[in-house]
Each structure stands twice: as C-alpha cells, then as structure tokens.
Structure 1
Amino acid sequence: MILKLETQTLADEFSQLGVHPASEAIFLHKSEILPLKLVNIRTPAANIIKQEMLACGGDCAIPAGCVVCAEERVDAILLGTQKHYTRLLEKLAQMSYFGMADIKTELENILKPQPLQTILADGRTLLYDKMLVMGILNITPDSFYAGSRVPQIEQVLERAGRMLEQGAVVLDIGGESTRPGSDAVSADEEQQRVVPVIKALKERYPDCVISIDTYRASTAEEALGAGADIINDVTAMEGDAAMLDLVVRSQAPIILMHMRGTPKNMQQNCEYKNVVTEVAAYLVRQAKLLEERGVKKEKIIFDPGIGFAKNVQQNLQLMQGLKSLTGLGYPVLLAASRKSTIGSVLGGVPAEERLEGTIAASCQAVYAGAQMVRVHDVKENLWAIRMLEAILCPSRI
C-alpha cells in the first residue's frame, strides 16, 4: 500500500515515523516545490538565475528568446524547494549587477515573511493569527444586494450588534453604491448617510472597529472624526488626490482596492494580459506611494477588487491566484460576498441565493492565506472558515 500525503500533515507523519527531531526541518524544506514568479526583471538577470537555479538543483522557466536577450525585460518562473532558494540567495549575495540586489531582498521577504498586523490610529492592533471577518452595512437605497441595505439608524445598530455577536471584527459602512453601472451621489449626501451612523455605532459599541467605504477624502475625514478606524477606498487613492495626504496625516489604515475607471464604466475596462500579475503590480505601486511618505506596511491592506473592472473568468482567476497577493507582505482582504460572478457560476441565481457560493469563496481565501473576508453573512462564513482552519491545522484549535 502506498499513501499520498498532504504537505500540511508531514510534520506529524515524520514525528510518528520516529525520525530524529533535528532532521524534521530538513525533510520539510525538501517536501514542497514553491513556484515563484519574477516580474519584469532584466533579461541578463533571468539568464543568470536560470543557470544558478539549475546548479542548485532547482529550475527556472524563461521565455524562448531570453537566451539571446531579444527583450530588455522579461518575467521568469522559479521552481525550487526552500533548500534550493537558500542556495540561490547565497549566490545572489555575491552579485550586485542587473538588479540582483533587489531580487535578493524580495526573495528573502517571501521566504522569511514577518507576521502581519494592522495598527489603528488609536494604537489598537488587528492580529491575523486567524482569518478575520468584516461585516457589510450599506447605508444606501440601491446596493446590489437588498438584504444589506439598512437605511434607518436603529436598524443599523441592531444588525451591527448581531454581526459583532456573531464574530465580526470590523464593520464596513458605505454610503454610496459601487455596483456596476451605478451613479455617484454627492459628497454631502454620502456624509449625511454615514456620519450619524458611525457616531451612533461608536456610542452603542465603543470598542467596535469601523471601516468607512469611500473614495472621497472629505467623507473619509468626516468619518474618521466621527469614530471610524479604517478607510476602505475602492479606487486605491486614485479617485481623490487628497486621500494620500489624509492617510499620512491621520495615520488611519487604508484598504487599497484594484479598479479601473469608475463603477459607471468599469465593466468596459476588462482587458488584461495576466489579471493576477497586473492587479498585484498595481496594488504594490499604490502602496509604495504611501511608503514613500512614511506610511508603514501595518497601515496598508490589499483588496484585489473582485467584480470591479473584471469579467467572470478574470474574477475566478484572481480568486484562484490569490496566493500571489498574500505573498507580497501586506494583509489581503477578499470581498466577493454575493457578487455577480457567484451568480453566474451557479446558473444565474440572484444575490439572495448566493450564500453557499460566497462561503466557497471565503474558504478559498483561507487556502490562499488571506487575512480577512468582507461578507454580508457573518456567522455562516465565519463557521465555515473556522472549520476549515481546524482541518488544515488541528493543533491550533
């Protein structure tokens, strides 16, 4: 009899086998090939890394014309174990040309990641030892899912309390629908919707963490003044040039989401060569704008923007490739709850019938190592997440 083993069970299997404890780490480092994609590196660097990976016992896939430097820059895919990459890092440490130093630094960050956290402006910290759940509260009359609309303050307070009891760590408050094709509202109207709600929530639940879903710096500033803790910007600061200054000044964390165009026209902007790579590159670029102004990684969260300027196949590719984002060194939020891609996959079902599909997306976020999901149904998603986490790592129960 020969049994296939899951990588996450190997530590227990080695222990039960009775191997020497000092050998366990060595075996674990040899147990899994970790594919890594180097994006837009100089062609000579790709050729050198190809040869060094082969010498280390790993491999590197490069474009066919790379050997004759047909292009100035190329992508490359590394295939190796932890052992192969450790040897490669030793080689790269001796090379200061063709951008090798930057490649070495990024490779070290991926292989030896630091624990992620988000530090709020008041000093409280969100830790991600388990996945966190963000509950959605739409203070709008026209959000795509009618079940999320709570226009009256008392209704908001009641639903917020229920979400907090069910395990939501963050409450996301939005005053303008960003569904495909939606029209914008004025800043005054948006603020009239959300600011009183945030004040009431903080009065009723003073310890709750609130994110304000807006791309307007003026609304975000009013919301922070009313007690909001996090800015959730669907334009990643491109919708309002003043947003960057506000984040620097307020020290409030910001969720940077990928989108092209506006909600009105975004579904006419779905052309990608590689949607995962392009979304990742965009989010890193926006994060660097903040970091150049002194904002730490502990203030930045990535959201790939499921449903925003992507078609069904692209949304599925993003969820399938979510691990590419979770390896970048920033917390990642997946916001796919009840969205149209789920409805399309399940045969055109309406938003009211997309709970099970949403739970599947939340489970994929666990597999990919994401830190948070944004959902309409807190309890159902959280229970599925906790069960999957227990299966993947029983010792952490």
Structure 2
Amino acid sequence: MIMELTLDFLIKEMEKVGAHFDSFSIFLRKSRIIPLKIFDITSPTANILKQEMLSIGGDVVVHKNVVNCGINKNDVILLGTKKHYDILIKKLENINYFDIPKVYNLLKNFFEKDKVSYIESPWKRKIIFDRTLIMGIINVTPDSFYANSRKINLEEILNTAKYMIENKVDIIDIGGQSTRPGSDPVDEEEEINRVIPAVKIIRENFSNIFISVDTYRARVAEKAIELGADMINDISGFRFDDNLVKVISEYKIPYVLMHMKGTPKDMQINPYYDDVIKEIYEFFLERLNYAEGYRVDLDKVIIDPGIGFGKRYEDNLEILARITEFKSLKKPILIGASRKSFIGKVLGDIPPEERLEGTLGVTALCALKDVDIVRVHDVKENKRVIDVIEAIKCIRSS
C-alpha cells in the first residue's frame, strides 16, 4: 500500500513511524517546495541563481531568453525547500556582483521576519492572532448597501454591540459614511456626529471590547481614539487626508491599510489590472514605506486587499484564491467580503439580503487559509463557521 500524506499531518505521521523527535525539524525543512517569485532582476543574476539552485537540488524558472542574455531584466521563480534556501542564502552571502546582493537581502528578510502574534492598542487592549478573528460591522449610516447593518439611534447601536459581544465578536468596526460603489462622501462634521456618540456609548458600556473606527479622516480618527477607540480602519491607505498618518503615528494606534483603486464614487467604473496581485502587493509596499517615513509603528499595521473596492468580479475571486501570497508581507491580513456583489453574482445576481450562505463560504475559505480577520455583518453565523474550521485545524497540530 502507498499513500500521499497531507503535509499538515506530517509530524503526526512521523510519530507513528517512530522517528526521533529531534529529527522532525530536519524533515520538515525538506518536505515542502516553496515557490518564491523575485521581480525585476538581470539575466546574469538569473543564470547564477539557476546554476546555484540546480547544484543543490532546487531549480529556478526563468525566461526562455535568459540563458543567452537575450533579455535585460525579468522575473524569476525559485523552487526549493527550506533546506535549499538555507544553503542558497549562505552561498549568496559573499557574492557582490549583478543583482545577487538584492536577492540575498530579499531571501534573508523573507525567512527571518515573522508576522506579529498580537497587536495592542494605546489602551492596552489586545487582539491575538491565534485563529481567524471576527470583526463585526456597525454602520451608523442611513445608506450602507446592506440595510440590516444600518444602526441610527444609540439604543440600536448599543443593542447590536451587546448582541455581537454575546456571540463572541473580537472587534467591533463602526463606520459613519457609506463607501458603497457610486457613493458621495458625507460632510466631516456629519461623520463626527454619527461616529463619536457610537464609540462613546459602546466604550462606556463595554470596557474590554476592541473598537475599530472605519474612517479616512484625521479629525474623526483622533476624536474616536480619545474616547477609547483601539484601531483605525482606513479604506484610502492614507491617500484622502494627509493628516491621518500623523494621527496614527502620534497615538501609535493599530491601523488597517486597505487597497482601493480610485474613490468610492468612481472605483467601479471600468477598473482594470494587468496583474491584480502584483499591483496590490506593490501598493502595500509603497504605502508601508510611506507610513514608515512618518514613524508609524509597522508592527501595528494590518493589510486588507480591498475586496469590491475598484475590483472586477474576477479580481475578487483571484484575490481570495491567492490570499496566502500576501502573507509574504509578514502582516496580519483582513478580508471584508461580507454580502458583497461578487457573491451575489456567483449565486445568480441575488441581492445583499440573500448572500449570507455565500459569505459563510468565503469565511470558511479564509479560516482554512489562516486569514487573520474577517469583517462581517452576521457575527453569530460566521463565528460558528470559524469554530468548526478551527476545530478541524486543531486536529492537525494535536
């Protein structure tokens, strides 16, 4: 009898075989091919990488014209186990020509840096990334795309927060203006008048809950933080208000950095990408570099690829299918797909009110792929899905 094993259960199977515990890490380093794409390197560099990887049992995918340097620069894909990369990094350490130092630094940083295990707010409340967390949506707006998420008066807001907390929500996200496709921004004072009383009443009644505020405006963010908000969830990636980055830096507040092409008003007017994953990834790198320039604590930044924000139907599906690739940035990942239009399209153009099951499917996928946070309207139902997935995942490591 012969059987291909699931890598998640390799340790358990090695125990059954009777292997020595001290050898487990050695076998794990040899067990999985890690495909790493490195962008924009010279042909001589690509040829060197190819030969070095072949010499140790790995390989490199290169352009067909690289061998004779018929192309100046291109991308490459390295194929190797962790053991292969450990050997390669040592080999490249003392090679100081072509793009080898660049490749060395990229590989070294990739394998040495880890995602943070938790994030703490200025008020000492924490979110711990030991499972997929639930962020519950409270829209203090009259016009958000899903009517049941709209909570206008303080009693509704407080009751909704109470219900979410009873159903084990991890984060409550309060938004004061709709960012649905085609929407216009509300006046800043109106947003303040909507958001601040909601933050105040939730914080006064629930001192331990982690509160996020969905805003791209510095004044709204600062007022919310002063009342006890723990995180700012910004759809603009610091692009709509130049002062927001200063507020995030000053208060050392956790921050969700989201990708969006355009603005809510125009983002769904013929969006186009040559390579949606690459373009979003480059956006994150540029924005993280921008934030670092203002001394934002990058260990408190969460990334969100922005499902439905300037994305075509197929872009949303590809982002979800390839979501683990964004883990290369070593940042916690948030996905906000709840009841969005691409789910409706998958299921035959059904309205937001009928998209719960589709949302739960996305949540299950995210939990299986170890996405850190899902932002949802329906806390209880999504939490139950995650609990089942997490129970299955626990078997892998038990």
TM-score (norm 2): 0.95
1:171-226 CA-to-partner distances (Å, cap 9, x unmatched) read 10001111111111111111111011101111011121111111111221222122
- The one-letter code sitting in structure 2 at the alignment partner of 1:81 is T
Q: Distance in 2 between matches of 1:388 and 1:375?
A: 17
With 37-46 and 256-265 compared, the bigger mean Cα shift is at 37-46
8 Å contact from structure 2 (residues 260, 267) kept in 1: yes
1:376 paired residue number: 377
C-alpha distance in 2 between matches for 1:256 and 1:71: 36
**Distance in 2 of aligned mates of 1:118 and 1:43:** 41
After TM superposition, give the deviation of residue 297 of structure 1 in Å.
2.4
Return the alpha-carbon distance in structure 2 between the equivalents of residues 132 and 283 of structure 1. 22
> Could you say which residue in structure 2 is the equivalent of 1:59?
59
Change over 3 Å in CA distance of 1:379–1:99 after alignment to 2: farther
The 1:72–1:211 alpha-carbon spacing in structure 2 relative to 1, beyond 3 Å, is farther
Equivalent position SS for 2:310: coil
Task: Trace 1:57-96 onto structure 2 (pairs within 5 A).
Answer: 57-96=57-96
Paired with 2:332 and 2:371, the residues of 1 have a C-alpha distance of: 7
Counterpart position of 1:25: 25
Q: CA RMSD in A?
A: 1.8
Deviation by residue 1:205-257 (Cα, 9 ceiling, x = unmatched):
11211111111112212221222111111010011111111111121111110
Q: Deviations over 1:17-69 (max 9, x none)?
A: 11232332222222211111112334433332222222221111122233344
Question: What does residue range 1-397 of structure 1 map to in structure 2 within 5 Å?
Answer: 1-116=1-116, 117-268=118-269, 270-394=271-395
1: CA distance, partners of 2:108 / 2:384 = 35
Classify 1:271/1:166 alpha carbon distance in 2 versus 1 (closer, same or farther; 3 Å). same
SS at match of 1:295: coil
Q: Percent identity?
A: 42
Please give the per-residue CA displacement for 1:310-350, whole angstroms capped at 9, x wherever unaligned. Answer: 11100000011101112211111011111111111111111
Q: Aligned AA for 2:388?
A: M
Taking the aligned partners of 2:95 and 2:379, their CA distance within structure 1 comes to: 50
Whole-Å separation in 1 of the counterparts to 2:188 and 2:257: 20
Q: Which runs of structure 1 show a deviation greater than 6 angstroms over 4 or more consecutive aligned residues?
A: none
Task: Give the letter aligned to residue 227 of structure 1.
Answer: G
**Counterpart Cα distance in 1 of 2:274 and 2:135:** 31
Q: 1:303 touches 1:333 (CA, 8 Å); kept in 2? A: yes
Q: Contact 2:260 / 2:310 at 8 angstroms: preserved in 1?
A: yes
Distance 1:99 1:295, change over 3 A: farther
> Contact 2:216 / 2:234 at 8 angstroms: preserved in 1?
yes
Distance change >3 Å, CA 112–CA 359, structure 1 → 2: farther
Deviations 1:281-306 (A, max 9, x none): 10121011112332232221100000
Distance 1:169 1:162 in 2: 12
Alpha carbons 1:260, 1:269 under 8 Å: kept = no
* Distance of aligned partners of 1:228 and 1:71 in 2 relative to their CA distance in 1, 3 Å threshold: farther
Shift of 1:99: 4.1
SS in 2 for 1:324: helix
Structure-2 separation of matches of 1:327 and 1:296: 18
**What is the identity, as a one-letter code, of the residue corresponding to 1:312?**
Y
- After superposition, give the CA deviation of every residue in 1:373-394 in whole Å (9 maximum; x if it has no partner): 1111112212212221221232
- Residue 268 of structure 1 and its aligned partner are, at CA, apart by 2.3
SS in 2 for 1:392: helix
Which deviates the most, 360-369 or 232-241? 360-369
Q: Given that residues 172 and 212 in structure 1 are in contact (C-alpha distance below 8 angstroms), is that contact kept between their aligned partners in structure 2?
A: yes
- The 3 A distance-change label for structure 1 pair 318 and 115 is closer
Structure 1 stretch displaced more, 345-354 or 114-123: 114-123
Change (3 A) 1:59 1:218: same
The answer to whether the Cα contact below 8 Å between 1:217 and 1:246 also exists between their aligned partners in 2 is yes
Q: Secondary structure at the match of 2:123?
A: coil
Alpha-carbon distance change, 43 to 282 in structure 1, aligned in 2, over 3 angstroms: farther
Q: Residue type matched to 1:96 in 2? A: N
Q: Is contact 1:180–1:263 with CA below 8 Å preserved after alignment?
A: yes
- 2-structure distance, mates of 1:98, 1:163: 56
What are the Cα deviations for residues 77-125 of structure 1, in whole angstroms up to 9, with x where unaligned?
A: 1111111111111112122334433433332343344252222123333
> Tell me, which stretches of 5 or more residues in structure 2 are unaligned?
none
